[in-house]
Structures are given as C-alpha cells and as structure tokens.
C-alpha cells in the first residue's frame, strides 16, 4: 500500500511547474513502497532522517540535505524516528536542465527560503512572483553539487548478494576473501569489480554502509554507545573518530548541527 505525501492524481492532472507539499511531524515510521512518477522530486526533512532506495543504490537524507530524483525513477522511502518532511515535485518539461541521476544535495539558505515560501502557495495559476521563486528552486537544484550520502549498488549479481547482506547486517565483519568464497567469485575480481561498478573500494563501500546505518540508528534515538557496539566497532572512540572524519562532527552533535 502506498503512503504518498500527495495524491498521485494531482501530479498527473495539474499544469503547475512546481508543487510543494509537506507532512507535519509524526512519531511513527513512515514507509512508501516502490513507485515512480512523471515529475521529478526534491525531498527533504525538517526533522528526522529518511532513506530513499532505487535499483542502483540507497540515499540517506538528514535535515541539512535533500535528495533529487529525476522523473520516472522507481524508488521507495522509509523514515527513521520522528519525521517532518517536504517534497517539491517538478514538471517533467522543467527537468531538462536538472541532474538526470539521483543525488543528495546540501540545502542552501536560498533554497530553504524559496521552499518555505512555496509551501504557502494555494493551487492555481502562478503569479509572476511565484514563477520567479519557482525559477530559484530549479536553479538551485541544477547548480548545487552532490554529497557522498549515497550507497551505490554494484550491478554484478554476485556483488549484489554481498552488498545486500552487508546493508542488512552491517556489523558482519567477514574479510574480503571470505566474502569472495561465499559469493563464488575470485577475490581479485571482487575487489576490481567493486571499484568499477560503485566507484568505491570494497572496504570504503563497507565503511560507508556502516556510517549511513549509524545515522539511521542515531535518528531513531539509539545512544552513541549502542550504535558503536551494534555496528561491530571495537571501541566507542574508534566509531566517533571515524564518524568525525567522514561527517565533520561527532555523532552526539550531528543532529544538533542539523536542527
């Protein structure tokens, strides 16, 4: 059963180039099954962390970021902890100058203000002022660079098996050689194809999977100590240092900075 922020019929029936909708904070986990739509979608949160999944990878979105999904990209959605979010739906014709692959972007002050203004609009033809603000939103989506909050999935079925197990059980600490035996692939081939198909070495991919899962767990209210040991780190300090090196702050401060 789908759980959309907006009636799908409105996405198909309206001529508005940009539609913005928001969902007030709710404590329960929110899930949307795999689906697609003809409009592009920029999805962000005011509170909470969400994960977007596609056939090609997973994208994790904390409140300082948003994810851009081009038209017709099949995706699913799950929130982690309390969720208060918004989506900008962009008409397909207006997406020609926008990125043609999913990406996570850092929200600029200008984009935040434009989205906040558009959230108050009523349905109906745009005024000249609304067209200008819609243009600002589109320009910001086009020019803001992507950030490394994605977990790209390999295409090789053997590597996919490994990636899915690690994604589901990130504390699993088998060596690359052990994974190769388990999946029926030569270790050198596994190492080489992981780089070719994801852009990351196997160890870097696994590390990113752990860090993204740590954000999900922290957003759900788990303590730093619980997250560190549940994800298989030998010490809490080792987890904190790796987290700081990747995100630029400590786990305890991350969501305070994002608020």
Cα 83 to the chain's mean position, in Å?
14
pLDDT tens, residue by residue, 32-77: 889 898 999 999 988 878 899 988 888 888 888 899 999 999 999 8
Residues 115, 111: Cα–Cα separation, whole Å = 6
Q: Residue 258 — very low, low, confident or very high, per pLDDT cuts 50/70/90?
A: low
Residues 8, 115: Cα–Cα separation, whole Å = 20
DSSP codes joined into one string, 66-85? EEEE-TT--EEEEEEEEEEE
Q: Residue 1 — very low, low, confident or very high, per pLDDT cuts 50/70/90?
A: very low
The residue with greater pLDDT, 98 or 26, is: 98
Report the SS3 class of residue 138.
helix
- Best mean pLDDT range from 20-34, 57-71, 182-196: 182-196
**pTM of the complete model:** 0.77
pLDDT tens, residue by residue, 83-137: 788 899 999 999 999 999 999 998 899 999 999 888 888 877 889 999 999 999 9
Looking at residue 3, its pLDDT comes to 42
Nearest to 136 by CA among 156, 152, 121, 116: 116
| Interacting residues of 108 by C-beta distance below 8 A, sequence separation 6+ | 140, 144
pLDDT tens, residue by residue, 134-176: 999 999 999 998 887 888 999 999 999 999 899 888 888 899 9
Residues 83, 127: Cα–Cα separation, whole Å = 32
The rounded mean pLDDT for the chain is 86
User: Looking at domain 153-258, which of 2.60.40.3880, 1.10.10.60, 3.40.50.1100, 3.40.630.40 is its CATH number?
Assistant: 1.10.10.60
Domain ranges (residues) in the chain: 8-147, 153-258
Superfamily for domain range 8-147: Regulatory protein AraC (2.60.120.280)
Q: Residue 2 — very low, low, confident or very high, per pLDDT cuts 50/70/90?
A: very low
């Amino acid at each position: 059963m789908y759980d959309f922020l907006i009636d799908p019929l409105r996405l198909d029936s309206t001529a508005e180039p940009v539609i913005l909708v928001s969902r007030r904070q709710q404590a329960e986990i929110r899930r949307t099954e795999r689906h697609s739509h003809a409009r592009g979608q920029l999805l962000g949160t005011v509170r909470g962390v969400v994960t977007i999944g596609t056939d090609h990878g997973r994208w994790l979105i904390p409140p300082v970021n948003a994810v851009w999904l081009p038209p017709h990209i099949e995706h699913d959605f799950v929130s982690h902890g309390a969720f208060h979010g918004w989506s900008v739906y962009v008409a397909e014709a207006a997406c020609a100058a926008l990125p043609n692959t999913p990406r996570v972007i850092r929200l600029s002050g200008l984009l935040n203000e434009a989205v906040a203004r558009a959230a108050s609009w009523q349905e109906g033809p745009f005024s000249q002022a609304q067209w200008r603000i819609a243009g600002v939103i589109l320009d910001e989506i086009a020019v803001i660079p992507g950030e490394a909050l994605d977990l790209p999935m390999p295409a090789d079925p053997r590597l996919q098996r490994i990636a899915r197990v690690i994604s589901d059980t990130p504390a699993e600490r088998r060596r690359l050689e052990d994974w190769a035996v388990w999946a029926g692939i030569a270790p050198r081939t596994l190492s080489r194809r992981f780089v070719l198909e994801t852009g990351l070495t196997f160890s870097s991919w696994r590390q990113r999977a752990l860090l993204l899962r740590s954000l999900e767990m922290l957003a759900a209210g788990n303590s730093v100590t619980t997250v560190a040991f549940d994800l298989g780190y030998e010490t809490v300090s080792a987890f904190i240092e790796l987290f700081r090196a990747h995100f630029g702050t400590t786990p305890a401060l991350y969501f305070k900075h994002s608020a």
